[in-house]
């Protein structure tokens, strides 16, 4: 199910991450999306994102994300979260 706001997207990310659903999480990213998983670690593209998320979600973490700032222009959003 697509997200219609940055906040909805973040909720879907939290749900798929908490379920350790790598493939579900990857579908939330555009093909050329960029992910900063930690300071200094930047990856671009769904294959690179899948690789990072596989390692991260393979550890079985629980996610509770909070939106700090969200900027949206048309169908593109930039989300800063904890």
Specify the DSSP class assigned to residue 20: T
Angstrom distance (rounded) from CA 75 to CA 28 = 13
CATH number (3.20.20.105, 3.40.250.10, 3.40.50.720, 3.10.450.50) of 6-81 reads 3.10.450.50
Task: State pLDDT tens for residues 4-51.
Answer: 788 888 889 889 989 999 999 999 998 999 999 888 899 999 999 999
Specify the DSSP class assigned to residue 5: S
* pTM for the whole structure: 0.76
């Amino acid at each position: 199910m697509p997200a219609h706001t940055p906040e909805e997207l973040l909720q879907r990310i939290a749900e798929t991450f908490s379920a350790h659903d790598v493939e579900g999480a990857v579908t939330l990213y555009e093909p050329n999306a960029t992910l900063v998983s930690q300071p200094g670690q930047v990856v671009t593209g769904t294959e690179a994102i899948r690789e990072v998320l596989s390692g991260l979600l393979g550890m079985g973490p629980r996610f509770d994300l909070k939106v700090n700032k969200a900027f949206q222009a048309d169908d593109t959003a930039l989300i800063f979260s904890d």
